[in-house]
Amino acid sequence: MAHIPRSKIEGGMPGRLQSWAGSEAARLLALALSACGLAVVCLAFTGSQDHVAAIWPANGLALAVILRSPPRLWAAYAASAAAGMMVANLAVGHSEGRALLLAACNGGEILIAAALASRLAGPDLDVTKPRQLLSLSCVALVAPVVPALMASAVLGDASMGTLIRWYLADALGLAVVTPMVLALVTDAGSLKAAFWRKRNLAPLTALVAAWALAFGQESYPLLFLLFPPLVWCAMTLPSAGNAVALLLTAVVAVTATLTGHGTAGLIHGDMQVKLAVLQGLLATMTFATLPLTAVLAERRRLNASLREALAQVGKSEERYRVLADNASDIVITIDDRGILTYVSPSIRHLGHAPEDMIGRSPLPFIHPDDREAVGTRMRERRQSGAVDDMPHQTYRILKKDGGFVWVEGKPSVIRNAQGGIAAVISQLRDITGRMEAEAARAESEARYRMLADHSSDIILKVDAEDTILYVSPSVSRYGYTPDQLIGVSGYSLVHPDDLSEAQARMAELFRAGVVDPSRDRTHRIRTASGDYVWMEGNPSLVRNAKGEVEAVISQMRDVSARKELEAELLAARDEAQAAAATKAEFMANMSHEIRTPLTAVLGFTNLLSSRDDLATDARRQVERIGAAGQAMLAIVNDVLDFSKLEAGLMPVTPRPTALLELLETALALFEPQAEAKGLRLSFAASDLPAHVDIDPDRTRQVLLNLIGNAVKFTDDGEVAVTASYAEGRLKVAVRDSGAGMTEAQQARLFQRFSQVDGDAARAGGGTGLGLAICRGLVDAMGGEIGLTSALGEGSTFAFEIPAPACAAAEGLDAISPLAGVAGLRVLVVDDNPTNRELAHAVMTQFGIEVTDASDGAGAVELAAQLPYDVILLDIRMPVMDGPTAARRIRGEPGPNRDTPILAFSADHQLDEASAGLFDGHVRKPIEVAPLLEALIQVTAWEEALYAAEG
């Protein structure tokens, strides 16, 4: 019989919860009105002089509502019911204080009863279950005790009469009304059908007749006539129907008693006595019929469960029969005499008919070599009765044509009522293929053992604990015999430094069940003499019938000689890397040392050439000094760049670049040289994006090398530069009308220090590193470079690099050449006094205030004292180098923590660690335009930022 669990109320669908929550206020109001109405009626018609009602159903109704509500609403419902009762108390004449206290007693009683019922019967109380109905009855007897004592004190009556009347009225209300309402709510769905069902009309008619006889006359005490029809209703109607019958009987009885009708007149005494008798009647009817209803409901549930179980058994037997009849395995049933009573149709694939085997012993159908063993096991099991623990049996069954198949089966026993064996069912699976495979494996293992015994490598078989199960005789090369090692842990022979890795590899093989061919499996093994040799394993997995890895067979090869060679190669590599690092350091130092005097030469040459009072001959001589210095600087740059490329230290820094401007600017640099030789320079481009993400410095360097070579080695005609763009890649070609090259000359063209025509090279100058540097730069940018040439037809050099299109870099729109330079305060830090003097001379002519320091420590000291607009900081200095000084200035409090710091160095690029410390880079030798541009850039950025912040 169904009931309504609290989980249905608390955990329903969200939409239903919202609907329920929306009607919560209406429910509270309805409970308050119901409690008020019941309380007014009971106080008015059954109350004594002290306003204690003889019948009090309000608490029972409120308890039923609370038990069907979530616990979070219990207090609200109890307060709602108490509010209704308070109004009723005021209506019958109680003072406000007494009305409030009495209502509080009733509200407390309701909460106590709810808590006890939930604790004893659980959250899903079902009064159709006898145990839970008994728990609710106990709650009804216990819950009113304390509230009754409190109510007597509130009423100011210490007599037992008031206490007992209050207690009996409340206990009866909880014991009678609560289960009635719960039963009605629990089985409300069947209520309508129950009253209209023909077979239920008879008990209902009998009940109405009993009402008429008991309460329709005043001569005979016929209340006992109510019990037979009520019991009849309990036996035929559902729980809700019986609850309605009880409730209607109680209403009729109370109404008759209050109005003086029926047998109430036969009771001698006042109304309180009559009501006490009525209370006893109602309690007797309730406790006589509701438990009977619960027992019958439990019986119906058990019968339904039994019918369902029987139906499931029938379905299970049907499915078993269908499975057995259609299974590929053979299913047989043998009775307690050892006779076949069932054989599945799948036996036909062996040539037998099931009907020919049923009624016979199975032994004649078993292979003669297995018959005696199977028969012995069958007899022993029947005699001992121990079939349940019988393991899987493997034997051969004869086919009709005289052949046989291997089968495997585990018997299952069916016992009779006395616990004896009634039958044995066995499912026999054809394992012929598995048995043949095992035989083939055994033969293969025999062959493998023969090979292992004659192999020079060590063949080893170990289990999951690395216990050696087999080792080939070749282990004697290391001083052991196979008998010495079998049963020994292989880990005990591994070098301690290699042990953890060896254990991890072995655990992975058994856990993952696969061999990773890429994993290194070399480790050192101790020989009998105590020395160690390097061994490399080549494992294979051995699996059991379930497919689980049960052992590993490994071919161990001595790789000590290879390990020695690898060690030598590693040492040679480390030595080569050290040499390369030394070379790179040497080249960096040499670059610094060469560029330091070049800085002075070129810087002072530029200053001297800018003088207006210089004579014509002197100016020509100064210009020649400058040209020679620039040539020497180009040689130094080529050597340094090639050194960085060889060492893999040439950084590539892509950034948004205006592509057309880069190409046109590079070509424009050679216009004077081409014009002097009578060459035509041309440029053509198609479908170029406005900006691409490339390293403009490296790209420009490649362009200058290729265009410079074309102009240098072309005597007449033209040099044409073309650029195209497709699929995110930039392709640039430089074509000249020079002498061209043979294939042999082309083969060595991109090699270092290589020039095709020695006479032309001597005439044009150069180190022979330009094209080698181009190839290195293009490779570093992820591109390709090449040429096409024919003798007498000129040459075309082309390179292609990745160049994703992008947006223009955010920055200042334009900076006027000398905007804001005058008045700048610049701190120049360099250990070379000539460089400091040159920087001072260059910058002071533009109105820049220059302060200098000879090392990083002096720079830190000055930066802590005075504010500067820009700090020009050399990288390589004694006492304290540039990066260290920059960190100190940035990290210590002072006026220059946020001052722009420019690196002052001969290096083309700073390393990653140093680059983040500086806001820009001024290269040596000093050139006026780049120096001023760098100063303007950082100061203009600061001004823009201050303007934005202001």
Tokens (6 digits) for 659 = 């592509």
CA–CA separation, 936 and 929 (whole Å): 10
Domains and CATH numbers, the chain: 1-14+23-186 (1.10.1760), 188-325 (no CATH), 327-430 (3.30.450.20), 436-559 (3.30.450.20), 651-802 (3.30.565.10), 825-949 (3.40.50.2300)
Q: Exposed (0-12), middle (13-18) or buried (19+): which is 669, by Cβ within 10 Å?
A: middle
Per the model's pLDDT, the better-predicted residue between 681 and 638 turns out to be 681
Alpha-carbon dihedral angle through residues 382, 386, 387, 393, given to the nearest 10 degrees: -90
pLDDT band at 532 (very low <50, low <70, confident <90, very high): very high
- pLDDT-wise least confident of 12-26, 416-430, 800-814: 12-26
pLDDT of residue 944: 42
Q: Nearest to residue 279, comparing CAs of 174, 181, 168, 180?
A: 168
Question: Span 941-947, mean pLDDT?
Answer: 45
First to last CA, the chain: 81
Return the percentage of the chain with pLDDT > 70, whole number: 76
Q: Nearest to residue 784, comparing CAs of 801, 803, 804?
A: 801
Q: Are strands 870-874 and 901-905 parallel, antiparallel or unpaired?
A: parallel
- pLDDT-wise least confident of 598-612, 654-668, 702-716: 598-612
CA–CA separation, 921 and 904 (whole Å): 6
Q: How many beta carbons lie within 10 A of that of residue 656, not counting itself?
A: 18
On whether the CB atoms of residues 163 and 148 are closer than 8 A, the answer is yes
**What's the full length of the chain, in residues?**
950
Q: At what angle do helices 58-67 and 178-186 cross, to 10 degrees?
A: 40
Tokens (6 digits) for 928 = 């006026």
Q: Exposed (0-12), middle (13-18) or buried (19+): which is 927, by Cβ within 10 Å?
A: middle
pLDDT of residue 682: 92
CA–CA separation, 170 and 144 (whole Å): 6
**Secondary structure of the chain: what % helix, strand, coil (to 5)?**
55, 15, 25
Is residue 80 predicted with pLDDT exceeding 60?
Answer: yes
Q: How far is CA 542 from the centre of its chain?
A: 35
- pLDDT-wise least confident of 204-218, 288-302, 729-743: 288-302
Q: At what angle do helices 560-609 and 616-647 cross, to 10 degrees?
A: 160
pLDDT of residue 20: 41
CA–CA separation, 467 and 550 (whole Å): 12
The residue to which tokens 């160095």 are assigned: 905
Tokens (6 digits) for 931 = 């120096």
CA distances from 399 to 162, 325, 403 (A): 95, 19, 5
On whether the CB atoms of residues 412 and 428 are closer than 8 A, the answer is no
Q: How many beta carbons lie within 10 A of that of residue 185, not counting itself?
A: 18
pLDDT of residue 683: 92
- The helix (H) or strand (E) run that includes residue 775 is helix 770-780
Where residue 149 falls (left for φ over 0; alpha for ψ -120 to 50; beta otherwise) is: alpha
Q: What is the pLDDT of residues 419-458, one digit of tens each?
A: 777 788 888 888 888 888 888 877 777 766 666 666 678 8
Backbone angles phi, psi at 548, to 5 degrees: -85, 145
Tokens (6 digits) for 158 = 């210490």
CA distances from 395 to 83, 374, 403, 939 (A): 84, 8, 13, 97
pTM as predicted: 0.38
Per the model's pLDDT, the better-predicted residue between 871 and 381 turns out to be 871
Q: How many beta carbons lie within 10 A of that of residue 420, not counting itself?
A: 11
- pLDDT-wise least confident of 73-82, 306-315, 627-636, 913-922: 627-636
Q: What is the pLDDT of residues 690-718, one digit of tens each?
A: 999 998 888 988 888 899 888 888 888 89
Q: Is it true that the peptide bond before 689 is cis, omega within 30 degrees of 0?
A: no
Name 555's bridge partners.
459, 538
CA–CA separation, 552 and 249 (whole Å): 85
Tokens (6 digits) for 382 = 């029947």
Q: How many beta carbons lie within 10 A of that of residue 114, not counting itself?
A: 25
CA distances from 321 to 318, 412, 539 (A): 5, 16, 48
Per the model's pLDDT, the better-predicted residue between 201 and 103 turns out to be 103
The residue to which tokens 């406790």 are assigned: 287
Q: What is the pLDDT of residues 903-915, one digit of tens each?
A: 988 665 566 556 6
Q: By three-state DSSP, how is residue 534 classified?
A: strand
Q: Considering just the CA atoms, what is the radius of gyration of the chain in Å?
A: 54
DSSP 8-state code for residue 61: H
The residue to which tokens 């005490």 are assigned: 221
CA distances from 14 to 18, 123, 668, 673 (A): 6, 21, 76, 85
Core vs surface per residue 837-859: b (16+ CB within 10 A) or e: bbbbebbeeeebebebbbbbbbb
List Cβ neighbours of 565 (8 Å cut-off, separation of 6 or more).
none
Per the model's pLDDT, the better-predicted residue between 825 and 251 turns out to be 825
Q: Find the farthest-apart pair of alpha carbons in the chain and give their distance in angstroms, rounded.
A: 159
Q: What is the pLDDT of residues 853-863, one digit of tens each?
A: 999 999 999 99
The residue to which tokens 């909460």 are assigned: 111
CA–CA separation, 485 and 171 (whole Å): 87
The residue to which tokens 């430094």 are assigned: 497
- The helix (H) or strand (E) run that includes residue 718 is strand 718-726
Q: How many beta carbons lie within 10 A of that of residue 138, not counting itself?
A: 15
On whether the CB atoms of residues 141 and 171 are closer than 8 A, the answer is yes
Q: Nearest to residue 253, comparing CAs of 430, 55, 504, 520?
A: 55
Name 424's bridge partners.
334, 413
Per the model's pLDDT, the better-predicted residue between 343 and 618 turns out to be 343
pLDDT of residue 815: 42
Q: By three-state DSSP, how is residue 875 classified?
A: coil
Q: What is the pLDDT of residues 869-905, one digit of tens each?
A: 999 998 888 889 889 999 999 888 888 888 999 998 8
pLDDT band at 945 (very low <50, low <70, confident <90, very high): very low
pLDDT of residue 653: 81
Q: Can you give 796-854 as a three-state secondary structure string?
A: EEEEEEECCECCCCCCCCCCCCCCCCCCCEEEEECCCHHHHHHHHHHHHCCCCEEEEEC
For residue 240, the one-letter residue type is A
Q: How many beta carbons lie within 10 A of that of residue 706, not counting itself?
A: 25
